[in-house]
């Protein structure tokens, strides 16, 4: 009996000692789970919005909330009209001042350093449509946009229901931000690496970026996979960690995640590795100078940028009615049918030769010379847009794609025939070997379906596993309506807006335009740059609207 009582007493005495550990374990589990879920669904373009685009949105949308996370005196010195002020360290304590979890929010600060932290913190908490204004108020002021000094008083509402442990972790991360908000300058990091090296220097750029060179001693942990490396981080949560990316934005996202995970001594390199190199500091892992010079002779990104910049306003498209008129005046205008042989045999434009899209680079000797005008067509104008863009990249200076496809052309009066036309083989043009190899490899890997997705399938995908949507029409077209959630990047600006693309090249992307001529070209461009899962909306936005799927403005 005495033994039983002693055992019972021991259990009772031990119980209070065990209780405090249970919440701690639950908190760790909840926070880690939330960070893993967030890391798996990083926002398109890492949540950046330019000052120019924000001005347009503010003019068109009344339900956009601007949260200025600077200190009160900074805010009082001039801010965007309507912006509410919630200093960054108090953000998690004032969620009752913000709209609901699904509302549109843009976070602003002086340079975009604090706003990236604020944006990431809110996204971790579950806010679904939060972005950071690139360049901060410095960029806003430099562009000459108006500011006011009259404060906007935010009306307190009800804070959203958020897991208590997650909220506590985010509040601890924000309220304990050090002086300088966790930034470290390149020169100071160089001294630190020399005199008291951090426990870990972490590069969160993509593998392609890492391959261009990195800071000596860095460990590569791409942002899109950061939480998968949690087991490789120091066990000591007080460990000295320094993060960097290309320009500082992704570094701040990573630093915010690690602070939320409980690491208390995390710094982010201000300006990223670009600032490091601008300070004349060395990197490792880059190709030797002679190899770099040789590689510089060919860059698909450069070819794409030059080609898109030089395109006419039509983007090398021609309407069927205009082609009919042109053929009446110039009946010997070369026509290239890029459909399959079976499609061609069932009927084609009179005089057209057949060069299937997937064999395009094998038969350049059948095409007109690079400076001769000719027109490409297919069944719907999708394959012909792809072919036209690829030929443009290869140096063909006057090739166009007929909009609408074969049936539309036939309905417009263009003569048709079932008699095959045998093309006389000539001499293929001389093309840079690296450029030709890149285009040839691409053509031979074009999948069945040619990279299209129907409106019905896209509608399902947006519900079940949403891809990143990219609208490549002009701003004026986008103003008339777009698919909800789409990032607007005009095709003309595609190569100069790389910070707005999804940075993970495995991210599913759907590109669209109006009749989808431009959408097909943008798809090809992204695929050539290594994006692995890019499709384009068959029929473009008109096909989406024809199915009565929603189109939003603002």
**Which whole-number Å values give the CA distances from 260 to 152, 170, 173, in the listed order?**
30, 5, 5
Query: Which CATH architecture is the domain 39-147 placed in?
Result: 3-Layer(aba) Sandwich (3.40)
> What CATH class does 179-286 carry?
alpha beta
CA distance linking residue 503 with residue 42, whole number of Å: 10
- 139-146: average pLDDT: 89
State the average pLDDT over residues 420-446: 91
- What average pLDDT does the segment 432-449 reach? 91
The rounded mean pLDDT for the chain is 89
Digit-coded pLDDT (tens) for 496-530: 887 788 888 899 999 999 988 999 999 999 999 99
Q: Where are the beta strands (DSSP E) in 384-492?
A: 399-402, 416-417, 452-453, 468-471, 487-488
Residue 186 pLDDT > 90, yes or no?
yes
Homologous superfamily in CATH for domain 300-444: Rhodanese-like domain (3.40.250.10)
Q: Is residue 1 pLDDT above 80, yes or no?
A: no
Tell me whether strands 416-417 and 348-349 are parallel, antiparallel or unpaired. Answer: antiparallel
pLDDT at 81 over 60: yes
- What pLDDT does 425 receive? 87
The DSSP code for 539 is T
- pTM exceeds 0.85, yes or no: no
Fold identical between 39-147 and 452-546? yes
For residues 223 and 250, the answer to whether their CB atoms sit within 8 Å is yes
> Per-residue pLDDT for 45 more than 90?
no
* Both structure tokens of 307: 């080609």
pLDDT tens digit sequence for 232-283: 999 999 999 999 998 899 999 999 999 999 999 999 999 999 889 888 899 9
pLDDT for residue 421 is more than 50: yes
Strand partners, 509: 468, 534
DSSP designation for 286:
P
Domain ranges of the chain: 39-147, 179-286, 300-444, 452-546
pLDDT by residue (tens digit) across 355-398? 999 999 999 999 999 999 999 999 999 999 999 999 999 999 99
Average pLDDT (439-457) is 93
Burial class (CB in 10 A: 0-12, 13-18, 19+), 316: buried
Other Cβ atoms within 10 Å of 3 Cβ, number: 7
Query: Which residues are tagged catalytic?
Result: 245
Structure confidence at residue 501 (pLDDT): 83
pLDDT in tens, 277-332: 888 899 998 755 444 444 445 689 989 999 999 999 899 999 999 999 999 999 99
Say if residues 168 and 27 touch (Cβ distance below 8 Å). Answer: yes
Dist CA 300 CA 208 (whole Å): 14
First CA to last CA across the chain, in angstroms?
A: 78
Cα separation, 360 vs 521, whole angstroms: 16
Q: Say whether 506 sits in a helix, a strand or coil.
A: coil
Is residue 61 within 8 Å of 104, Cβ to Cβ?
A: yes
Considering the segment(s) 452-546 as one domain, its CATH architecture is: 3-Layer(aba) Sandwich (3.40)
Tell me how far apart the alpha carbons of residues 18 and 179 are, in angstroms, rounded to a whole number: 37
pLDDT at 63 over 60: yes
In this model, does residue 4 exceed pLDDT 90? Answer: no
Residues 88, 424: Cα–Cα separation, whole Å: 70
Nearest-angstrom CA–CA distance, 79 and 297:
46
Distance CA 31, CA 37 (A): 10
Q: Is 300 helix (H, G, I), strand (E, B) or coil?
A: helix
On whether the CB atoms of residues 336 and 375 are closer than 8 A, the answer is yes
Q: Which of 303, 317, 309, 306 has its CA nearest to residue 491?
A: 309
Strand stretches in 312-363, DSSP E: 317-318, 335-337, 348-349, 353-354
């Amino acid at each position: 009996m005495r033994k039983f009582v002693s055992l019972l007493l021991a259990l009772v005495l031990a119980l209070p000692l065990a209780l405090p550990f249970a919440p701690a374990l639950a908190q760790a589990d909840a926070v880690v789970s939330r960070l893993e879920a967030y890391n798996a669904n990083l926002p398109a373009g890492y949540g950046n919005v330019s000052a120019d685009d924000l001005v347009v949105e503010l003019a068109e949308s009344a339900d956009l909330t601007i949260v200025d996370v600077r200190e009160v005196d900074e805010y009082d010195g001039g801010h965007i009209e309507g912006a509410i002020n919630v200093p960054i360290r108090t953000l998690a304590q004032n969620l009752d001042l913000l709209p609901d979890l699904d509302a549109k929010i843009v976070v602003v600060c002086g340079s975009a350093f604090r706003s990236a932290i604020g944006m990431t913190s809110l996204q971790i908490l579950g806010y679904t449509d939060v972005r950071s204004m690139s360049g901060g108020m410095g960029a806003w002021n430099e562009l000459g946009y108006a500011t006011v000094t009259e404060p906007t008083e935010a009306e307190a509402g009800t804070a959203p229901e958020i897991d208590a442990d997650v909220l506590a972790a985010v509040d601890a991360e924000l309220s304990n931000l050090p002086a300088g908000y966790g930034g470290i300058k390149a020169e100071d990091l160089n001294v630190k690496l020399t005199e008291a090296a951090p426990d870990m220097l972490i590069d969160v750029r993509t593998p392609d970026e890492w391959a261009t060179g990195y800071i000596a001693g860095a460990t590569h942990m791409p942002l899109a996979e950061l939480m998968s490396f949690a087991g490789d981080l120091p066990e000591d949560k007080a460990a000295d960690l320094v993060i960097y990316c290309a320009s500082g934005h992704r570094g701040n996202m990573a630093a915010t995640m690690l602070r939320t995970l409980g690491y208390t001594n995390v710094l982010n390199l201000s300006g990223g590795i670009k600032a490091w190199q601008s300070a004349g500091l060395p990197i490792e892992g880059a190709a030797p100078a002679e190899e770099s010079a040789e590689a510089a002779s060919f860059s698909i990104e450069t070819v794409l940028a030059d080609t898109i910049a030089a395109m006419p306003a039509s983007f090398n498209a021609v309407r069927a009615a205009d082609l009919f008129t042109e053929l009446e005046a110039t009946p010997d205008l070369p026509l290239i049918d890029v459909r399959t042989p079976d499609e061609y045999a069932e009927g084609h434009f009179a005089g057209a030769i057949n060069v299937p899209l997937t064999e395009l680079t094998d038969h350049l000797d059948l095409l007109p010379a690079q400076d001769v005008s000719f027109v490409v067509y297919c069944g719907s104008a999708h394959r012909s847009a792809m072919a036209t863009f690829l030929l443009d990249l290869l140096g063909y200076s006057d090739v166009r794609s007929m909009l609408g496809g074969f049936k539309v052309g036939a309905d417009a009066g263009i003569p048709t025939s079932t008699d095959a036309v045998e093309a006389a083989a000539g001499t293929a043009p001389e093309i840079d070997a690296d450029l030709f190899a890149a285009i040839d490899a691409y053509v031979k890997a074009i999948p069945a379906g040619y990279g299209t997705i129907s409106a019905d399938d896209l509608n399902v995908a947006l519900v079940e596993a949403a891809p990143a949507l990219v609208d490549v029409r002009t701003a004026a077209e986008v103003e008339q309506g777009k698919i909800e959630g789409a990032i607007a990047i005009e095709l003309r600006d595609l190569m100069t807006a790389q910070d707005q693309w999804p940075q993970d090249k495995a991210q599913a992307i759907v590109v669209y335009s109006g009749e989808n001529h431009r959408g097909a070209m943008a798809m090809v461009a992204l695929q050539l740059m290594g994006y692995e899962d890019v499709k384009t909306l068959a029929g473009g936005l008109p096909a989406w609207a024809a199915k009565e799927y929603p189109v939003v403005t603002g």
